A and B are shown apart, each in its own frame.
Chain A
Amino acid sequence: IEMEDIVEEPIVDIDSWDAKNPLAVVEYVEDLFSYYRKMESFSCVSPEYMTQQFDINEKMRAILIDWLIEVHDKFDLMSETLFLSINLIDRFLSQQQVVRKKLQLVGLVAMLLACKYEEVSVPVVGDLILISDKAYTRKEVLEMESLMLNTLQFNMSVPTPYVFIQRFLKAAQSDKELQLLSFFLI
């Protein structure tokens, strides 16, 4: 084969059509994602962490997250908030022993903190207590909040799978169907 026969498909500059949108910060997008990539390693936990918990397991985590997805939907929150909540839960559980009875509280407080970090309007503690069928008191929620903040050292700005999939979907010049499928998979 002659070298000239191989036509290299040019890489599409996926940011060119956003050049005029100041909110897309095209100028900084490369820096931003290389930073996300660097920070990703700090935001991930060992997939084995559950083995160190004595009272809870993966199945309970799955049930908790299914429930949080419902809560998330009910409060009409942004996607980023859900991914951040799950990240906070995993990072917290990899460092603290939690009994079965308190697992829902961990989920609730993670969502509260994610909302405080990410959302413009944050659901009030009272509503969160109501949605958990008054399983916990305000005092318990606020104490868990302090414990979680101290455990995570207030580190809330972590890149979640959401930011990466957004970028990949943009690069793939995806349609609606592919987007929905990818979000379902992650």
Chain B
Amino acid sequence: MEKVKDWNYKVVEKIGQGVFGEVYKCLNLETGKKVAIKMINIQNEPEGVPSYLIAGVSLLKELEHDNIVRLLDVLTTGRYVYLVFEYLDLDLGSFIRKHTITSIRPHIKTILSQILVGLAYYHSHNILHGDLQPSNVLIDLKSKKVKLADFGLTTSFGVPHIEYSYKEVGSPYKAPESRIRSSVYSTPHDVWAVGCIFAEMVSGKPLFPCGKKDHLSLIVSLFGKPTKETWPGANYISDLLHSHPQCEPADLAEQLLGLGLEPPGVELLSRMISLNPTTRITARNALNHPYFKDSHSSLSSPHYEAFGFP
């Protein structure tokens, strides 16, 4: 990270660490603007800068959208590739932690719609985000904008993963189909994560918390025991599911209504976290859902209702 001084950046702090490298919050000394610099290690690449990075960066450079952090600059030393991204101070994770659910409630619609607008843009360019979670959703208080980022480095550029069993490790926002061998890992995967984020904004806590219980048990207790009709993926892990007891699905709708979510919101959420990825709602269709009817955000009118934070 020493190197960035030569390019007029000052390191503020480390904000992320992953298989592919590290992410630092930095200050551009010329403009005074904050940036996030993703440092990707390529020292062990005998063939030079790997193809996926060249193709991935080239693609990222073409993306330009209000709801996606901009890739400002790319530099390589031959040992590392540095990706310089636009950075905002607040992420949705800290926002949820710092505020009560009643003070978050009025902002849910605008935040959610901007996440979906950004995601629909990714998907229309055939790009998967692959690691959506509250800490990757950045919020700018001044301009009232929400921008999607990817500072986790758990995936490089949405390279499809093939898993060999039910994968317990990884982000709790990962959709169930992405944890299963030979399942199609595609755009519905991101929508699942948005559903999890949506539920978290309403209830103030993660829908599938890491810790005590494994992810599959949480899925079973929320949806009831999946069958191959409700979830085609169940076929692949019938052995694993066998050990889970039959149970009634939890009444999530009731809980969320109790927390003040309107009925159309409950309906939208249930379509975002549909177990079957083929029937899960798309980002674009979600934006046209009745839940957003009274807000000004849709793909055709990119003027978002400004949100005033407490």
Contacts and interface: CB of A to CB of B under 8 A. Distances in A.
Per DSSP, chain A at the interface is helix
Interface in B132-146: none
Nearest to A114: B54
Contacts of B59: 157
B101 interface: no
Given A117-B55, A125-B47, A154 B78 contact: no
B77 A125 contact: no
B31 interface: no
Contacts of B47: 122, 124-125
A141 B58 contact: no
B75 A156 contact: no
A174 interface: no
B62 interface: yes
A154 B75 CA distance: 8
B63 to A, nearest CB: 11
Interface string B62-83: 1000000000011111100000
Nearest to A123: B47
B267 to A, nearest CB: 30
B49 A125 contact: no
Interface in B23-80: 46-51, 54-55, 57-59, 61-62, 73-78
Interface in A67-92: none
A119 to B, nearest CB: 8
A102 interface: no
A149 B46 CA distance: 17
B58 A125 contact: no
A145 B58 contact: no
Nearest to B55: A117
A119 B46 CA distance: 18
B76 A125 contact: no
A182 B54 CA distance: 30
A146 B78 contact: yes
A145 B51 contact: no
A113 to B, nearest CB: 7
A145 B61 contact: no
Contact of A154 (B48, B51, B54, B77): B54
Interface residues of A, number: 19
Interface string A147-175: 00110011111000000000000000000
Given A153-B61, A155-B61, A157-B58, A146 B46 contact: no
Nearest to B52: A116
Contact of A116 (B51, B62, B73): B51
B58 A156 contact: yes
Given A155-B58, A155-B61, A117 B51 contact: yes
B62 A157 contact: yes
A112 interface: yes
Nearest to A139: B78
Contacts of A122: 47, 51
A156 B58 CA distance: 6
Contact of A150 (B48, B61, B62, B75): B75
A145 B50 CA distance: 11
Contacts of B50: 116
A112 B48 contact: yes
A142 B42 CA distance: 11
A143 interface: yes
Contact of A146 (B55, B57, B77): B77
B74 A154 contact: yes
A161 B73 CA distance: 27
Nearest to B56: A154
Contacts of A112: 48
Contacts of A117: 51, 54-55, 58
Given A116-B51, A146-B76, A146-B78, A154 B46 contact: no
Q: Which 9 pairs between the two chains have the least Cβ-Cβ distance?
A: A116-B51, A156-B58, A146-B78, A154-B57, A154-B74, A145-B48, A142-B48, A116-B54, A157-B58
18 contacts: A112-B48, A113-B54, A116-B49, A116-B50, A116-B54, A116-B55, A125-B47, A125-B48, A142-B48, A145-B49, A145-B78, A146-B77, A150-B74, A153-B61, A154-B54, A155-B61, A156-B54, A157-B62
Interface of B: 46-51, 54-55, 57-59, 61-62, 73-78
